[in-house]
Amino acid sequence: MLSKMRLGSYSHNLRKILPGIESCGPKGSRYQSAMAAAAAVKEPEGPQMVTEVPGPRSKQLMSELDEMQSMKTIQFFVDYEKSQGNYIVDVDGNKMLDVFTQISSVPLGYNHPALLEAVKGSAMATSLVNRPALGVFPGANWNNSLRDVLMSVAPPGLNNIITMMCGTCSNENAMKLMFMKYAEHLRGGKEFSQADLDSAMQGQMPGIPKMSILSFHGSFHGRSIGCLSVTHSKAIHLVDIPNMGWPVSDFPRYKYPLDQFVRENAVEDSRCLAMVQDKIHQQLKDGCPIAGIIVEPVQAEGGDHHGSAAWFMGLQAICKKHNIRLLIDEVQTGGGATGKMWMHEHFNLPEAPDLVTFSKKMLSGGIYHKEDLRPQHGARIFNTWVGEPSKLIILDAVIKTIKRDNLLAQVTRVGASMTKGMNELQAKYPNIFANFRSLGTFGAFDCSTPEIRDKLTGGMRKEGVHLGVCGETTVRFRPSLTFDEKHLEILMGKLQTVGGKIDS
């Protein structure tokens, strides 16, 4: 299998690969040299730390960058040529097991041979150099790319797609689709009147109807103006930015372990569903009806809160009852990390959601949607590029590798072992590890205080493990799909070591 290809044989074949690389850049170019260097790197046997993080070189680069750009979120600078597999290497030479993977965005780890090979040919060079405006002048192979790549992993029941660049623009345009469909319903299916068109130019009714989107406390859907109106995870995202004032409802907050609080969690599901019903009725009464609901399977930025299958079934039933649309935001959960390509597949919904948005591990962005949500007029959902063909070249290699190496089964298997290991840590150090929840390797746990969480993640970084956080006290696991038992053994061992130090 390609994922187990020996370094020697791959390096031996570099001469076959390099002619293709030359077609993507001039002979002797930095690009060509970087490709060759990345292909020759072997994944470390374990973490290797030589400085603190950020180290001296990272700090120097941060200082230089600050003269040109304010980006205070940067943690460290990375040497991407030396990063390999499930290890990220910073510019100071620290080799860390990466269990955060660029905010859950690296599907197969760093410099995977299949992806390096995928970018070697003329198709990649042509795509990058000519970057087509896909909504107006797509290339001859664009239909094949959509059908053979993105539609090959479409959520069951969704046979239409709109490509986008990122998760934010995917959610923004998916909400527009829901508004457009609801407005069509309000018009009784009729074409726009001249009054509709004229009043729209003035920002007035009837061309600009009063409508809203329902979202949930703890949600995150992006940082554009529209998406901020359905984002409720951190004040820093929202402060100073006017929003639409749309309704917000409660997302379930469960007690763990789930099997010990079945009754209580069922009551919580019912409470939150009843609140959704109330919000729908109130918005109708106020003259600003809800056109759709946007929801994440897991509130990945707001604290990794899960919604149960029963809750999502109930949510879909409410949408059907009131003739509004259900948009499931799979930007972070899609792409295989839960053991299925789409997390909502675990919910066994009676039918497909109306819309599913994606990005991150899918490398591109976009919206899968039902047939009846297709825009009926040109330029309704549009921007200059409407996606990026070069990303589909790489995604094609990702999907083929997932299937060939049976990575969804691996994610499920490793996820089960992860749960077992975390349950043991929770029993031993309940003040440090609590409320572990996961599907596949998409997991998280809570610390008892923000201070303990900071000690834990700081200690793990010193031990050479890079983790992510969310919410107030939550640590989240977002490894690549190639994360296997040897990586898990290192992760669990380091958590045991650092947890023991904090507890002593």
The closest of 27, 303, 57, 290 to 178, measured between CA atoms, is 290
Is 360 marked active-site? Answer: yes
Is 168 marked active-site? Answer: no
Sequence-ordered list of residues with C-beta below 8 angstroms from that of 317, at least 6 positions apart, any chain: none
Spatial separation of the C-alpha atoms in residues 441 and 334, rounded to whole Å: 12
Tally of CA atoms within 13 A in the half-sphere of 265 that contains its CB: 17
The closest of 374, 367, 384 to 174, measured between CA atoms, is 367
The closest of 28, 25, 44, 30 to 86, measured between CA atoms, is 44
Answer for the pair 207, 197: CB distance below 8 angstroms, yes or no: yes
Residue tagged active-site, from 100, 179, 216, 220: 220
Residue tagged active-site, from 95, 120, 279, 360: 360
Q: Which residues pair with 96 in a beta bridge?
A: 88
Residue 293 phi, psi dihedral angles, 5° rounding = -120, 135
Listing DSSP states for 443-492 in one string gives EEEE-SSHHHHHHHHHHHHHTTEE-EEETTTEEEE---TT--HHHHHHHH
H or E element in which residue 249 lies: strand 248-249
Q: Which residues pair with 77 in a beta bridge?
A: none
Sequence-ordered list of residues with C-beta below 8 angstroms from that of 421, at least 6 positions apart, any chain: 488, 492
DSSP 3-state assignment of 368? strand
Answer for the pair 275, 250: CB distance below 8 angstroms, yes or no: yes
**Start-to-end C-alpha separation, the chain:** 45
Residue tagged active-site, from 16, 255, 384, 486: 384
Dihedral sign computed on CA atoms, order 43, 47, 48, 54: positive
What would the two tokens of residue 389 be? 């063909």
Output the CA torsion 119→222→433→76 (10° steps). 50
User: Going by DSSP bridges, is the β-strand pair 365-369/160-164 parallel, antiparallel, or unpaired?
Assistant: antiparallel
Answer for the pair 33, 70: CB distance below 8 angstroms, yes or no: no
CB burial of residue 492 (10 Å; 0-12, 13-18, 19+) = middle
Is 497 marked active-site? Answer: no
Answer for the pair 408, 198: CB distance below 8 angstroms, yes or no: no
Residue tagged active-site, from 269, 329, 405, 484: 329
Spatial separation of the C-alpha atoms in residues 315 and 277, rounded to whole Å: 9
Spatial separation of the C-alpha atoms in residues 289 and 293, rounded to whole Å: 11
Listing DSSP states for 245-282 in one string gives ---EEPPP---SSGGG-HHHHHHHHHHHHHHHHHHHHH
Answer for the pair 369, 159: CB distance below 8 angstroms, yes or no: no
What would the two tokens of residue 69 be? 């750009």
The residues that are catalytic are 220, 329, 360, 384
